[in-house]
């Protein structure tokens, strides 16, 4: 496999030299190349099937505290120089960013070896292999139960390469592969339609647990018949790993980003250092942890990542910083700059929650009146300053009473604050064999979780 | 470029495709954000690339690349056919398209002032002044301020093996501002103008941004943010709910726009965005709303973000009924999905957000047709209720039945008059019951609003869509959901 490290550095140098030539006091450039493919299933056939090749070029130039930037998807030298010229043009008329002090200085990196991040088998995956996996998924799901009606989902893989350079000497190259299967299996018995879900993420496409995922999703769908409504109110809740992962994403995005804190949005404002969660809760971000499928040793401005303790024994510990937010607070960056969807902000994206010794069966046995939840749909912040989020159960939820699963439940809505429902945790389980989410999170049982509605109210 | 499209289509045919099309697209954009007196973003965007879609062995294949050269086009064309053949291996029946007239045509959204010809300095000047005035209004309380502008243009070529060759240029722009007020001992309160999430957008020229009168609305918006810090919380009750355009647009988007997308109805989004309660067996039978509820999908509405000449399958823009007199009567569709349920033609609803992405059924302008009321008449006719404005949070289930929204601000309505401000308003309902309770919709404040933030698909795409509406009234709606959910535990 030939990587494009030399090409990326060469093109980045074209950008940097042009920025210097045009008088920029500082400049940061990033070029990313990606080759991805995704096979989408619906109604137990391949419904959509795509391959994409992208080249994303980002140029940020400073004239003192004035800033301009361009993002282009063109890679020839003339276009790259034009992208720099455009960035310079707008920087010169830009107001100052008084919070800006400097881009990161030259860094040294604790590099993760390329062969740990890149799988040749993923790079060499073909449309035919994806079709083979799709057929395996479809057949495996239908074999579980005759009521399985449709297999939907996606099987995908990709190779991502990037180089980030700046005029102060930052120079870093990274490459990684990734692959995913996520399936929603629909079942029908003539009276009702049920759904089950499962997912797996791997670095090596050929290691995706296609059959296990398909069977697990189909089993959940088959176990979903006889759904009933329950009243709104507070229940015990058993959250499977994907449900925990969904909550953790929102917690991290709205709570632990220094930008959200500085913008008065974070629910952790004036709470750092306080014990506000159950002492069993430990949450951290670590791009080096080998248990994570998606890892990395630098952030989106080329700053080295470091392990970030976010919650330790229930105490809110640290915010995630990038250079700009760190300079504003007079601290060091933690290496968590993320540039996505037009924003540049600190975001902890390599999350882990400490596992416990329990498992789902024990949690069910310990539940008097609660709900077992597969995962959540359409979560959103209702009031991020209070940590209040909402979302809906999806692809399998069951009522648990006196230590036993009673019956499946129709879609439920929760509306509650993380500051309340994570204040007490009954049990934490072990990690799943599947990489259900990009975070490494265990299942957990909470004593109180607020259900605020259902599909009938 | 025409030569390159021919090379693509001929390569696909030679490789065994029974159908192929290619889009070659250049997208340009200008994004400016001023935050708390600082430049937050001043970014120029350019995306160039192409995407080739094929039918081969009865299956659909798609491949795209940024590199618009002859060799890459040939490579990608061959790959698209190979992917189509792999797709076909899992199908029992070959994919079918409804017919479309293959045309050679060109189209351009009209504008008076080209947003890309207006100097960037002028836009910055306006935003800096807005941001400054927001904070100067009350520096002790207004702690956050932001002003935004966005301009967007797409130049695209569509060609197909059926003989179509269409060139289009789509332009839109817009912006807005927001501020956050913080008083000691109270929760931060945010107000935005004209809408949340960076303002409002329209397929017009720079004259649209100027017409927003942003500077003139700074004081009113800052005052409302400050007033919210002292306002009482939304009561928990069932009440009469009035919703104005900047919240109603998202209500329409989530509870009518998405569930009438025929691809998700047929299961394409079953594992991601979800399915729909508006299934084909209910077409012409489901009483979706009251007799006053009339929804159309209209890609011909002037100035709409869902307005164009032809969709990304080369189907001419059109207006389609979705709900007529409250009855569910139609879908947004593509050539493939229309064929599956036996429709004669597509609704012209296919778009991709990037040249390298596969077109999907996307909302166009989903409009609630104007009613007979004036906004003031709706308020005057309401004895007791709550008027909510400007979206703050949103969530809806995978079949689009249970939704919950929060808005930035609300006002009491007492004996036909607007009363006190209410903070943290929320409401929740079930889609057909909600629209079934609508008994008034205004015409005098009816506007075609636009949002560039609609997510869908795997790989994910973000599309710009339009929604026309005024102020509408609904009855017996649960409000104050957040308070209800958390009050007993002392969080509120």
Among B485, B490, B492, the residue to mutate for chain A (most A Cβ within 10 A): B485
Whether residues B310 and B452 fall in one domain: yes
The pLDDT confidence band at residue A457, using thresholds 50, 70 and 90, is: low
Q: What is the pTM of this model?
A: 0.94
Whether residues B324 and B286 fall in one domain: yes
Whether residues B178 and B212 fall in one domain: yes
Whether residues B81 and B206 fall in one domain: yes
Measured in angstroms, the CA of A390 and the nearest CA of chain B are apart by 7
SS3 A250: helix
Measured in angstroms, the CA of A130 and the nearest CA of chain B are apart by 8
pLDDT reported for residue A343: 80
CB B193 within 8 A of CB B177: yes
Backbone phi, psi, residue A248, to 5°: -65, -35
Whether residues B93 and B107 fall in one domain: yes
Q: Calculate the alpha carbon distances from B459 to A154, A157, B359 in Å.
A: 9, 11, 11
Question: Domains in chain A, ordered, with CATH?
Answer: 5-218 (3.30.2290.10), 226-457 (no CATH)
User: Per the CB < 8 Å rule, is B430 touching A456?
Assistant: yes
Contacts of A361 (CB under 8 A, 6+ apart): none
Count, residues in chain B: 492
Q: In what order do the strands lie in the sheet with B295-298?
A: B327-328, B319-324, B295-298, B366-368
A230's tokens: 């329950």
Each residue of A365-412: pLDDT tens digit?
999 999 999 999 999 999 999 999 999 999 999 999 999 999 999 999
Among A49, A59, A266, the residue to mutate for chain B (most B Cβ within 10 A): A49
Whether residues B247 and B185 fall in one domain: no
A258's tokens: 């220094």
pLDDT reported for residue B483: 60
d(CA B32, CA A70): 11
Backbone phi, psi, residue B377, to 5°: -70, -40
Whether residues B198 and B327 fall in one domain: no
Q: Measured between CB atoms, does B287 come within 8 Å of chain A?
A: no
Q: Which residues of B touch A424 (CB under 8 A)?
A: none
SS3 A414: strand
User: Per the CB < 8 Å rule, is B406 touching A382?
Assistant: yes
Measure the CA angle with vertex B298, ends B292 and B299; round to 5°.
165
User: Per the CB < 8 Å rule, is B143 touching A264?
Assistant: yes
Give the residue from B230, B255, B284 where a domain finishes: B230
Among B39, B339, B391, B487, the residue to mutate for chain A (most A Cβ within 10 A): B39
β-strand B447-456 against B402-414: which pairing, if any?
unpaired
User: Per the CB < 8 Å rule, is A154 touching B39?
Assistant: no
Q: Which residues of A touch B484 (CB under 8 A)?
A: 452
| Domain encompassing residue B171 | 2-230
d(CA B301, CA B350): 16
* Smallest CA–CA distance from A420 into chain B, residue: B491
Considering only the beta carbons, identify the residue of B128, B188, B402 that sits closest to A413. Answer: B402
Kindly state the DSSP code that residue A260 receives in the 8-state scheme: H
Considering only the beta carbons, identify the residue of A40, A45, A450 that sits closest to B485. Answer: A450
β-strand A193-202 against B142-160: which pairing, if any?
unpaired
CB B62 within 8 A of CB B33: no
pLDDT reported for residue B492: 30
Q: CB A62: neighbour CB atoms within 10 A?
A: 24
Contacts of B207 (CB under 8 A, 6+ apart): B111, B112, B113
A21's tokens: 């030539």
CATH number, residue B146: 3.30.2290.10
CB A88 within 8 A of CB A59: no
- Predicted confidence (pLDDT) at residue A331 exceeds the cutoff of 60: yes
Each residue of A347-369: pLDDT tens digit?
999 999 999 999 999 999 999 99
Whether residues B268 and B158 fall in one domain: no
d(CA B328, CA B171): 32
d(CA A422, CA A446): 7
Give the residue from B230, B258, B277 where a domain finishes: B230
d(CA B37, CA B179): 12
Whether residues B380 and B322 fall in one domain: yes
Each residue of B244-255: pLDDT tens digit?
999 999 999 999
- Predicted confidence (pLDDT) at residue A29 exceeds the cutoff of 70: yes
Whether residues B243 and B223 fall in one domain: no
ipTM above 0.85 for this complex: yes
Whether residues B299 and B377 fall in one domain: yes
Residue closest to A200 by CA, chosen among A453, A431, A451: A431
Helix axes B120-137, B218-230, angle to 10 degrees: 40
Local confidence pLDDT in tens for the 492 residues of chain B:
899 999 999 999 999 999 999 999 999 999 999 998 888 888 999 999 999 999 999 999 999 999 999 999 999 999 999 999 999 999 989 999 999 999 999 999 999 999 999 999 999 999 999 999 999 999 999 999 999 999 999 999 999 999 999 999 999 999 999 999 998 888 899 999 999 989 999 999 999 999 999 999 999 999 999 999 999 999 999 999 999 999 999 999 999 999 999 999 999 999 999 999 999 999 999 999 999 999 999 999 999 999 999 999 999 999 999 999 999 999 999 999 999 999 999 999 999 999 999 999 999 999 999 999 999 999 999 999 999 999 999 999 999 999 999 999 999 999 999 999 999 999 999 999 999 999 999 999 999 999 999 999 999 999 999 999 999 999 999 999 876 544 433 333
pLDDT reported for residue B487: 43
Q: Calculate the alpha carbon distances from B47 to A34, B24, B65 in Å.
A: 15, 11, 11
Q: What burial letters (b/e) apply to A208-229, b meaning 16+ CB within 10 Å? A: bbbeebbbbbbbbbbbbbebee
Instruction: Give strand pairing partners of B144.
Output: B180
User: Per the CB < 8 Å rule, is B64 touching A50?
Assistant: yes
Q: Which residues of A touch B359 (CB under 8 A)?
A: none
Q: Which residues of A touch B486 (CB under 8 A)?
A: 386, 388, 415-417, 420, 450
User: Per the CB < 8 Å rule, is B459 touching A45?
Assistant: no
Q: Measured between CB atoms, does B189 come within 8 Å of chain A?
A: no
Measured in angstroms, the CA of A422 and the nearest CA of chain B are apart by 13
Measured in angstroms, the CA of A313 and the nearest CA of chain B are apart by 22
Helix, strand, coil percent values for chain A (each to nearest 5): 25, 40, 35
Q: Measured between CB atoms, does B340 come within 8 Å of chain A?
A: no
Q: Which residues of B touch A70 (CB under 8 A)?
A: 43-46
Q: Name the residue with tokens 């648990």.
A: A400
Whether residues B226 and B366 fall in one domain: no
Q: Which residues of A touch B39 (CB under 8 A)?
A: 66-67, 94-97
Query: What's the rounded mean pLDDT across residues A263-268?
Result: 93
User: Per the CB < 8 Å rule, is B46 touching A70?
Assistant: yes
User: Per the CB < 8 Å rule, is B63 touching A390?
Assistant: no
Residue closest to B439 by CA, chosen among B477, B401, B406: B477
Q: Measured between CB atoms, does B274 come within 8 Å of chain A?
A: yes
d(CA A201, CA A216): 15
How many structural domains compose chain B? Answer: 2
User: Per the CB < 8 Å rule, is A51 touching B79?
Assistant: yes
Contacts of B49 (CB under 8 A, 6+ apart): A54, A73, B24, B25, B64, B65, B66, B67, B68, B354, B355, B356
Give the residue from B230, B258, B280 where a domain finishes: B230
Residue closest to B264 by CA, chosen among B349, B356, B353: B349
pLDDT reported for residue B259: 98
A38's tokens: 């995704």
């Amino acid at each position: 496999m030939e990587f494009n490290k030399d090409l990326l550095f060469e093109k980045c140098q074209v950008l940097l030299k042009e920025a210097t030539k045009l008088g920029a006091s500082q400049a940061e450039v990033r070029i990313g190349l990606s080759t991805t493919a995704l096979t989408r299933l619906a109604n137990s056939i391949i419904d959509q099937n795509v391959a994409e090749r992208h080249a994303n070029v980002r140029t940020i130039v400073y004239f003192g505290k004035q800033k301009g930037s361009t993002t282009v998807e063109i890679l020839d030298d003339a276009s790259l120089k034009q992208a720099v010229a455009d960035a310079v043009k707008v920087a010169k008329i830009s107001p100052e960013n008084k919070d800006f002090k400097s881009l990161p200085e030259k860094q040294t990196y604790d590099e993760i070896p390329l062969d740990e991040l890149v799988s040749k088998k993923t790079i060499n995956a073909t449309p035919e292999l994806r079709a083979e996996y799709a057929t395996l998924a479809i057949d495996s799901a239908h074999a579980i139960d005759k009521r399985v009606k449709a297999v939907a989902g996606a099987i995908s893989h990709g190779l991502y390469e990037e180089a980030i350079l700046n005029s102060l000497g930052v120079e870093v190259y990274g490459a990684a592969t990734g692959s995913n299967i996520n399936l929603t299996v629909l079942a029908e018995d003539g009276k009702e339609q049920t759904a089950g879900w499962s997912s797996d993420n791997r670095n090596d496409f050929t290691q995706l647990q296609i059959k296990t995922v398909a069977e697990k999703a189909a089993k959940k769908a088959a176990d979903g018949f006889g759904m009933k409504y329950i009243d709104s109110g507070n229940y015990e809740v058993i959250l499977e790993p994907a449900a925990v992962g969904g909550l953790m994403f929102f917690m991290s995005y709205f709570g632990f980003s220094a930008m959200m804190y500085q913008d008065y949005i974070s629910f952790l404002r004036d709470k750092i250092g306080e014990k506000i969660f159950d002492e069993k809760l430990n949450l951290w971000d670590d791009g080096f942890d080998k248990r994570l499928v998606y890892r990395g040793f630098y952030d989106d401005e080329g700053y080295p990542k470091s392990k970030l303790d976010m919650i330790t024994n229930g105490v809110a510990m640290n915010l995630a910083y990038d250079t700009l937010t760190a300079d504003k607070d007079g601290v060091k960056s933690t290496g968590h700059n993320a540039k996505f969807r037009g924003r540049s902000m600190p975001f902890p994206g390599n999350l882990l929650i400490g596992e416990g010794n329990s498992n789902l069966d024990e949690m069910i046995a310990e539940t008097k009146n609660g709900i077992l939840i597969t995962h959540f749909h359409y979560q959103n912040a209702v009031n991020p300053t209070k940590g209040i989020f909402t979302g809906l159960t999806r692809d399998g939820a069951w009522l648990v009473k006196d230590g036993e699963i009673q019956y499946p439940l129709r879609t439920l809505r929760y509306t509650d604050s993380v500051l309340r429902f994570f204040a007490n945790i009954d049990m934490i389980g072990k990690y799943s064999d599947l990489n259900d989410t990009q975070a490494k999170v265990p299942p957990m049982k909470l004593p109180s979780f607020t259900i605020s509605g259902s599909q009938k109210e | 470029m025409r030569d390159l499209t021919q090379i693509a289509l001929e390569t696909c045919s030679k490789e065994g495709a029974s159908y192929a099309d290619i889009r070659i697209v250049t997208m340009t954009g200008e994004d400016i954000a001023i935050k708390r007196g600082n430049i937050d973003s001043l970014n120029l965007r350019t995306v160039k690339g192409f995407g080739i879609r094929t039918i081969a062995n009865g299956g659909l294949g798609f491949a795209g690349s940024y590199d618009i050269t002859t060799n890459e086009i040939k490579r990608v064309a061959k790959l698209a056919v190979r992917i189509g053949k792999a797709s076909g291996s899992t199908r029992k029946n070959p994919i079918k398209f409804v017919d479309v007239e293959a045309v050679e045509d060109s189209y351009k959204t009209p504008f008076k002032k080209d947003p890309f010809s207006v100097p960037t300095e002028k836009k910055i000047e306006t935003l800096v002044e807005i941001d400054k005035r927001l904070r100067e209004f009350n520096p002790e309380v207004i702690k956050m301020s932001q002003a935004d502008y966005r301009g967007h243009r797409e130049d695209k070529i569509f060609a197909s093996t059926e003989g179509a060759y269409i060139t289009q240029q789509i332009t839109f722009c817009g912006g807005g501002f927001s501020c956050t007020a913080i008083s000691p001992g109270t929760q931060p309160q945010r107000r935005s103008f004209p809408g949340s999430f960076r303002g409002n957008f329209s397929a017009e020229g720079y004259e649209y941004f100027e017409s927003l009168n942003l500077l003139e609305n700074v004081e009113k918006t800052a005052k409302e943010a400050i007033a919210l810090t002292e306002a009482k919380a939304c009561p928990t009750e069932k009440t009469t709910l009035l919703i104005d355009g900047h919240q109603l647009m998202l209500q329409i988007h989530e509870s009518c726009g998405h569930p009438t997308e025929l691809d998700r109805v047929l299961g394409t989004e079953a594992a991601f965005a979800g399915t729909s309660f508006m299934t084909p067996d209910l077409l012409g039978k489901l009483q979706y709303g009251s007799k006053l509820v009339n929804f159309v999908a209209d890609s011909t509405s002037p100035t709409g973000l869902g307005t164009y000449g032809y969709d990304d399958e080369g189907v001419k823009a059109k207006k389609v009924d979705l709900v007529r007199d409250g009855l569910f009567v139609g879908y947004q569709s593509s050539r493939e999905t229309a064929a599956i349920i036996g429709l004669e033609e597509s609704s012209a609803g296919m778009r991709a957000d990037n040249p390298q992405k596969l077109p999907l059924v996307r909302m166009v302008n989903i409009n609630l047709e104007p009613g007979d009321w004036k906004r003031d008449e709706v308020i005057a006719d309401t004895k007791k209720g709550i008027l909510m404005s400007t979206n703050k949070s949103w969530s809806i289930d995978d079949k689009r039945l249970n939704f919950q929204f929060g808005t930035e601000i609300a006002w009491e309505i007492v004996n036909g008059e607007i009363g006190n401000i209410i903070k943290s308003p929320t409401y929740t309902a079930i889609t057909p019951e909600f629209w079934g309770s609508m008994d008034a919709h205004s015409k005098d404040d009816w506007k075609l609003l636009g949002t560039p933030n609609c997510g869908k698909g795997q790989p994910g795409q973000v599309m710009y869509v339009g929604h026309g509406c005024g102020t509408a009234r609904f009855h017996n709606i649960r409000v104050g959901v957040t308070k209800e959910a958390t009050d007993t535990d002392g969080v509120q």
